[in-house]
Structure 1
Amino acid sequence: MTAGHSRAAVLELLEVAKTAAAAGASVLAQRSVTGSGGDGLGMSNKGEAGDWVTEFDLAAENAVSRAIAQARPHDTITGEEQGTTRPEQASGYRWSIDPLDGTTNFIRNIVYYATSVAVADADGVWLAGVVHAPALGRVYSAARGHGAWVEVAGTSTQLTGPVPGRKGLILATGFSYDPSTRANQVEGLGELMEGFADVRRLGSAALDLCFVADGTVDAFGERGLNEHDYAAGALIAEEAGCWVRRPKLTSPLDGGPSTEDRLAAWTCAATLELSGKFPL
């Protein structure tokens, strides 16, 4: 039992998250399996070079929001593309949606993209999260106190994090759209890489966190993420037994963080022995 929440209540939230994420992923799955130029995707730029949104982002967010609202009409929903919707009689639960994490990958037909859905209680404790990656055929999920799982072709496997004591450690990271922040990240990459044999930059923070949970990579660290980028993936990594650091940022219900605060804050996941590798 999670503090203040029964086992049944938490698992019910997980089922809603799975249904909602599947609704979003089904929209993404309609993308043609060929082509990398973005034709027919309804692309537009959100301001910074490389920060794209497509008609699929919007359609997937609508599909996720409808699924949540149908099951839980009194919950608040915060979506990446359309902001926060608060019902008049709010339950205190809030959903964080990234309908298409990895939009550039989606445009270029690189398979690392997913729909991410997570829910927190009134105290901001994340209770359930799902990262549904249709091009990979994987559904990652977790409920607080009930472990983390990946489902592939109908078979579910519990996740237990990276292999302890493994040689040739791999770090996953990402880089900001903001040029000055990106330059600073590149400058600090050498120091961050100390103790790691190699690095991967896959373009989806939600999946990076899931890949720590399933042991594909040994650690993930990136600064400048938004809540919707990490909400589900961080819980999945945590429930897989990983050390996780979430950024301490102002809630979207209170206007969200300043750009400066967001760009300075780290999101990290790793084995406990690697936790000291990341800046404070």
Structure 2
Amino acid sequence: MELRDLAMQAATIAVEAGRHALQDQINPHDPRSTSAIGQGTQFSPGIDTRLIRYCRTKIAALDPMDGFWEEEAGNRRPGGRYWCLGHIDGPVNYVRNMAEWTLTISLFAVDEKGHASPVLGIVHAPVLGLTYLAAKGQGAIRIRRTIVGDKREKIIPSTMTTLNGSVISFGMSYFPNESEKVLQIVSRMAGKPADIKRVGPVSLDLCRVADGSYDAYFEPALHSWDIPAVSAAAVVVREAKGTLWRWDGGHVRWEGSNDVVATNGLIAEDLDTYLSGR
């Protein structure tokens, strides 16, 4: 199956899983009943595990490839392809009945040198009625739910060339040292952008750079548990002709932690002045 067709089929799985998650979200619940189940999903409710199980079963039936990214950490072979399924991205938003949370699916390909990179990505936001999907070499699209049915649109980044008057988004974690770093940058930058937003989650913020809603996004520390969300959105950003790099200009490392910056490709130099501390 071609990557583009595979992306469309995988997107239908994400949409169906999103219906289950949304139904659970709107059911009455007490946020205090949720518990920490790991650093990456501090407030994630029990639905998370069921969603992963559902998506794994459906994806394996669609095309099992060479397995799943998390399980094959020590056995990934050159030429292999591995699915990467994310937990709910934006679990705090989910538990607090906010709209900004997503489900993500990505596919990694390993080249002949053993280097892995995502080649397919789906980011689905059930409450917002948005699905972003992209496949390597095929561009990126956004599917919007409307009152007359789904509307499919090709997406491209904004054409803003300077921070002045731009709309910037940033991410931060609950680790104090990481949050302090990004807040200092935002403080220095204040007054140039028309707005600096902090909404989350990372997958949705990155897609909003891809579709031109934001001009750039940056975060000082994304961890291994963020890889599913970031990898899915990375394909969307790059296929929309945006840019996604580490702050030092290097490639994102898909095996560990990263600082990341995504832009429309036009204001990267202006933004780098603040990220580099010059």
| TM-score, structure 1 normalization | 0.81
Counterpart pick for 1:84 among 71, 75, 79: 71
The one-letter amino acid paired with 2:3 is: V
Q: Would you say the 8 A contact 2:216–2:264 is kept in 1?
A: yes
Aligned partner of 1:5 in structure 2 is none
Q: Secondary structure at the match of 1:215?
A: coil
Q: CA deviation at 1:159?
A: 0.2
Offset from partner CA, 1:135-187 (integer Å, 9 cap, x none): 00111111111111111121101101124458621111111121222122222
Relative to structure 1, the CA distance from residue 165 to residue 49 in structure 2 (aligned partners, 3 Å threshold; closer, same or farther) is closer
Q: Which residue of 2 aligns with 1:131?
A: 123
CA RMSD of aligned residues (A): 2.8
Would you say 1:61 and 2:52 are equivalent positions?
Answer: yes
Question: What is the aligned partner in structure 2 of residue 44 from structure 1?
Answer: 35
In the other structure, the counterpart of 1:241 is 241
Residue 220 and residue 250 in structure 1: after superposition, are their counterparts in 2 closer, same or farther (change >3 A)? closer
Q: Secondary structure at the match of 1:121?
A: strand
Structure 1 residue 268 and structure 2 residue 261: aligned?
yes
Matching of residue 147 in structure 1 with residue 134 in structure 2: no
**Equivalent position of 1:100 in the other structure:** 88
* In structure 1, distance between residues paired with 2:40 and 2:67: 31
Secondary structure of 2:122's partner? strand
2:123 and 2:61 map into 1 onto residues whose CA distance is: 20
**Identity level (%):** 23
Q: Is the 8 A contact 2:22 2:126 kept in 1?
A: yes
Q: 1:36 to 1:192 in 2, by over 3 A?
A: farther
**SS of 1:84's equivalent?**
coil
Distance in 1, Cα, partners of 2:121 & 2:40: 30
How far apart in 2 are the matches of 1:152 and 1:54? 27
Find 1:114's aligned residue among 99, 102, 108: 102
Code of the aligned partner of 1:201: R
Q: 2:215 corresponds to which residue? A: 218
Paired residues in the alignment total: 257
**Aligned-partner Cα distance in 2 for 1:213–1:31:** 29
Cα 1:30/1:75, change in 2 over 3 Å: farther
Deviation larger for 211-220 or 183-192:
183-192
Shift in Å, 1:195: 3.6
| Cα displacement (A) at 1:49 | 11
> Unmatched 5+ residue regions in structure 1?
1-7
The 3-state SS of whatever aligns with 2:153 is strand
- C-alpha separation in 2, matches of 1:29 and 1:85: 30
Q: Give the deviation of 1:20 after TM superposition.
A: 3.2
Contact 1:27 1:59 (8 Å CA) reproduced: no
Choose from 15, 22, 45 the match for 2:8.
15
Cα distance in 2, alignment partners of residues 117 and 49 from structure 1: 17
Matched with 1:31 is 24
State which drifts further: 114-123 or 185-194. Answer: 185-194
- Aligned equivalents of 1:25 and 1:191: distance in 2? 38
Shift of 1:236: 0.7
Superposed displacement of residue 228, structure 1:
1.6
Which residue of the partner structure matches residue 153 of structure 2?
157
1:84 is matched by which residue type in structure 2? E
Long gaps (5+) in structure 2: none
CA-CA distance at 1:229 after TM superposition: 2.6
Normalised TM-score (structure 2):
0.81
Distance 1:29 1:50, change over 3 A: closer
| Matched residue SS, 1:126 | strand
Contact 1:33 1:109 in 2 (8 A): yes
Partners of 2:67 and 2:191 in 1: how far apart?
42
Residues in 1 aligned to 2:41 and 2:208: alpha-carbon distance in whole angstroms: 24
Q: Secondary structure at the match of 1:210?
A: helix
Give 1:46 deviation, angstroms: 3.4
- The 2-side partners of 1:34 and 1:56 are apart by 12
User: Could you tell me how far apart the structure 2 residues matched to 1:44 and 1:31 are?
Assistant: 16
Deviations 1:236-264 (A, max 9, x none): 1111111221575654xxxx43xxxx2xx
Per the alignment, in what secondary structure is the counterpart of residue 100 of structure 1? coil
Corresponding letter in the other structure for 2:82: R
